[in-house]
Amino acid sequence: MTATTSGPAPLGGLRPLLAEIGDAKRVRTAGAPGSLAEQAFARSWARLLAGEDAGTVALSETAAAVARARLAGVDAAVLAAAGLSADEAQAVLRRAFDEVAGALDGGLAGRLRAALPGLRGAGAPPPLAVALNAQPRAGATAPGKPRVVVEPPESHGDHCFTVAVYAALLAPLMGADPVVPFLVGLAHHLHNVVLPDAGFAGEVLLGDQLDRVIGTLEERELTALPAPLAARLREVLLLRGDAVAPASQAFHAADVLDRVLQVHHHARAAAFTAGQALDDLELVHAGPVQAFHLDVLAAAGL
């Protein structure tokens, strides 16, 4: 890990905003199906498939997620329907952004604030986004132990979009540009379009077949994408293998923070504690990036 994550700040200072952004998994509106995070996940994929620049998508969707921490479902379209001009709507979005953006890297905050007006609607969500929004996450599981079932489960769309945004926001701490970590977060569960999530316990039972199962199903989804987008995603998804490159660190930090913040949410809302998931069920399980994950959690005070 880089030195910037070794103490309570700035990662610890960013944690409250990350938690607020993660609550978009649990907020809905009457105007569209799914949580706000699922809506943004579907829109992000639709924009990429329409050929929009990945950097534009990453920055505008991340900026909107930051503003959404306080505005929830009140977005530019709602404000326009309520009679506000484009400039007036932008002013509202920027006030919401500014209210929570103090913990962000200054350079990134400027780029995101400028990108707020760039968020626009997209076409129908692609089948992979629809499937991942419908595919529940397994939550905390451990080999040889019963599953801890929490209701309602988050979807893979919830998780992937939240990880993408977290990764973009964490990127400056790791010395990375936000766009690549955003893309890794958005695409890192493509295999779950087909594969139901049995958690770490299921992965252990798949044994030597795990990599082949994931690889086959992931490639099935990539092959169906436009060739330039598929090639870009194949390249960035290689960053999942370790936590060495700055972009890899940003992604893995985002992934583990989202998993543990999700557990903390359920700990507040249900009758089990974060300690059960972290200690008894080893949520941060053994693997090539476990030490990095534990360093990230320690730096965030989790």
Mean pLDDT score of the chain, rounded to an integer?
Answer: 91
pTM for the model stands at 0.87
Any residues with CB less than 8 A from the CB of 89 and at least 6 apart, and which?
A: 76, 79, 80
Confidence of residue 82 (pLDDT cuts 50, 70, 90): very high
Confidence of residue 5 (pLDDT cuts 50, 70, 90): very low
pLDDT tens-digit map of 254-300: 999 999 999 888 777 765 556 666 677 677 878 889 999 999 999 99
Q: What is the pLDDT of residue 117?
A: 78
Most confident of 2-11, 119-128, 171-180, 271-280: 171-180
Average pLDDT over residues 82-93: 94
- CATH class, domain 7-299, is mainly alpha
Residue pair 160/188 in contact (Cβ under 8 Å)? The answer is yes
Write out pLDDT tens, residues 170-183. Answer: 999 999 999 999 99
